[in-house]
Amino acid sequence: MDRLACVNVIDLPLQLLLRRNPGWQERPVVVVDRDQPNGLVQWTNKYARCSRILPGMRYAQALSLKHDLHAGTVTDEEIAESVDEIARLLLDYTPVVEAAHGQPGIFWLGARGLDRLFRSFERWAKTVAEELLDKEGFYTTVVVGFSRFGTWAIARAKRGGMLVLDEADEQDRLVRRVPLEALHVDPNFRDQLRKLGIGRVGELLELPPEGVRRRFGKEALLLYRRARGDLEMPLTPYKPEDDPEEHLSLGAPETVSTKLVFWIKRYLHPLLSELERRQDKLTRLEVVFIYERAGHDKFDVRPAEPTTDEGQILDLLRLRLDALELRGGVVEIDLCAHTAQAQTEQLEVFVAKKKRDLGAANRALARLRAELGDEAVVRARLADGHLPEASYRWEPIDRLDEAQPDDIELRPLVRRIRRRPEPLSHSRLGLDLDRQRDRQRDRQDDSIELAGPFVVSGGWWAGGVHRDYHFAQTPDGEIVWVYWDEKRQRWYRHGGFE
């Protein structure tokens, strides 16, 4: 009997949502189909499940069970892109990969003969799970067994880890003990079975097939027949399509940006037509200019949302070329369209209540990126650092997501921080601070407000740092964030209030 494996990227949409919002890792979180009070809960994490929040509930109902519940949507494009990346990675470990239709995160792998190549199925499965975690950051369950349904059901019930089944009978015994709730079945079907005291696959298989179809419908009968092994089919190998490319030979060297745009426009139309035929949309257009003498320039333009709108892409291309300094005459151009599967338009949450147009903001960022480069659009990400300037880092941002502010009891006072603290040695503010500091040492009262010090010290392994931070009010009423550097014997301005 051929061996196969099921890889379950556990709750893939939920992992994508948590990757986007790392601050939610230890909080109750659900994925909803639309960001509206009547949106359906589709995926839940363990903290939400502890409050009896289950898939199939309305978001408002779930919120009544857990008032600090966090929710978000994950677009079909995000899921399709991740499924494609995972499938491509899995092809490095088996020639046969099938992504389950309609079940994001489920993959079946052909495992025939791989135990000899990797010395054992355990070693092969462990390698696959580790690669998905290290390269993609996904937590998975890998089950090696003998049938699609058997490996799938066990992988759904076993959240995390790896299991290799040596006998088909062992697989059947485990499948019969799998809770139906773990299989993500239709909530109505699940609730009806629960009323009848049926909660596991084995109990479902005890029912007569005709009774299942008559009482619960065709979908229930389909699940029933799959569980019995009546619909076992060979795997359908995943065949990734290469991104469409075009190569342009200009004949004579071209140095005018406007004419280069027209050259690209001539080939962009058939490129986009090919995407429409494949029901894909363009996420990024990669462009390579090859110069007459030597060398090349490589850049890309990225629309705010996946699109096949030629006008939008040409607009971004013009902005990028206006900012690009050509190094000579361009004689050849390579175009490569990176794609995502086209889906129906995603509904926005609370559309009527929104005052800000997120789509417009993303289009504006796409234009900034095209004109000024990728490094011009960044966001601050918190980082582990002792000094204030080391407690965050800048990272590129592709698109804005819906704001999900955390509830905090005390808002930070400092709203602006300088990348490099400004020395105040010869400024009026610096002299005032010197006088005020001397008066504080002498315990004299003064009308100048100076709150502190708040000491930050450390870095002894690199010479040591000792800073006395203060909040100071300047004579014109401005409140600034300053510190006294003990090592340099100097005041610095580090931030301010708003």
What's phi and psi for 428, nearest 5 deg?
-65, -40
In this predicted structure, what is the pLDDT of residue 425? Answer: 67
Q: Locate 104 and state its tokens.
A: 């994001």
- The DSSP result for 440-488, as a single string, is HHTT---SS-EEEEEEEEE-GGGT-EEEEEEEEE-TTS-EEEEEEETTT
> Is the CA virtual torsion 349, 355, 356, 360 positive or negative?
positive
Lowest mean pLDDT: which of 39-48, 237-246, 277-286, 347-356? 347-356
**Across residues 260-288, what is the average pLDDT?**
86
| Count of CA atoms in the C-beta half-sphere (13 A) of 83 | 24
For residue 234, is the peptide bond before it cis, meaning its omega torsion is within 30 degrees of 0?
Answer: no
Q: Of 192 and 414, which is predicted with more confidence?
A: 192
Q: How far apart are CA 13 and CA 77, in angstroms?
A: 11
Q: Where residue 462 falls among pLDDT bands split at 50, 70, 90?
A: low
Contact 213, 288 (CB under 8 A): no
- 32 by DSSP, 3-state: which? strand
Report the candidate in 188, 110, 192, 190 with the shortest Cα–Cα distance to residue 151: 110
Contact 99, 106 (CB under 8 A): yes
Lowest mean pLDDT: which of 93-97, 234-238, 350-354? 350-354
Contact 404, 72 (CB under 8 A): yes
Taking CA atoms, 306 is separated from 19, 301, 345, 365, 366, in Å, by 20, 12, 11, 14, 12
Q: How far apart are CA 204 and CA 220, in angstroms?
A: 10
Lowest mean pLDDT: which of 5-9, 113-117, 157-161, 229-233? 229-233
What's phi and psi for 29, nearest 5 deg?
-135, 140
Buried-state track 51-87, b at ≥16 Cβ within 10 A, e below 16: eebbbebebeebbeebeebbbbbbbbbbbbbbbbebb
Residue 445 has pLDDT above 60, yes or no: no
Residue 453 has pLDDT above 50, yes or no: yes
Q: How far apart are CA 232 and CA 219, in angstroms?
A: 16
Helix axes 218-228, 209-216, angle to 10 degrees: 150
Q: How far apart are CA 177 and CA 412, in angstroms?
A: 52
Largest CA distance in the chain: 94
Taking all residues of the chain, what is their mean pLDDT, rounded to a whole number?
83
In this predicted structure, what is the pLDDT of residue 407? Answer: 67
Q: Where residue 7 falls among pLDDT bands split at 50, 70, 90?
A: very high
Residue 488 has pLDDT above 60, yes or no: yes
Residue 126 has pLDDT above 90, yes or no: yes
pLDDT in tens, 339-368: 765 544 433 333 444 566 777 888 888 888
pLDDT in tens, 190-223: 788 888 888 889 998 888 888 888 888 887 888 8
Give the rounded percent of residues in the chain with a pLDDT score beyond 70: 88
**Chain centre distance of CA 185:** 26
Q: Where residue 323 falls among pLDDT bands split at 50, 70, 90?
A: confident
Among all chains, which residue has been given the structure tokens 């939400």? Answer: 48
**Across residues 53-68, what is the average pLDDT?**
87
Q: Of 470 and 431, which is predicted with more confidence?
A: 470
In this predicted structure, what is the pLDDT of residue 350? Answer: 38
Report the candidate in 161, 163, 126 with the shortest Cα–Cα distance to residue 144: 163
In this predicted structure, what is the pLDDT of residue 349? Answer: 36
Residue 250 has pLDDT above 60, yes or no: yes
Q: Who's near 492: CB < 8 A, 6+ residues apart? A: 421, 422, 423, 424, 482, 483, 485
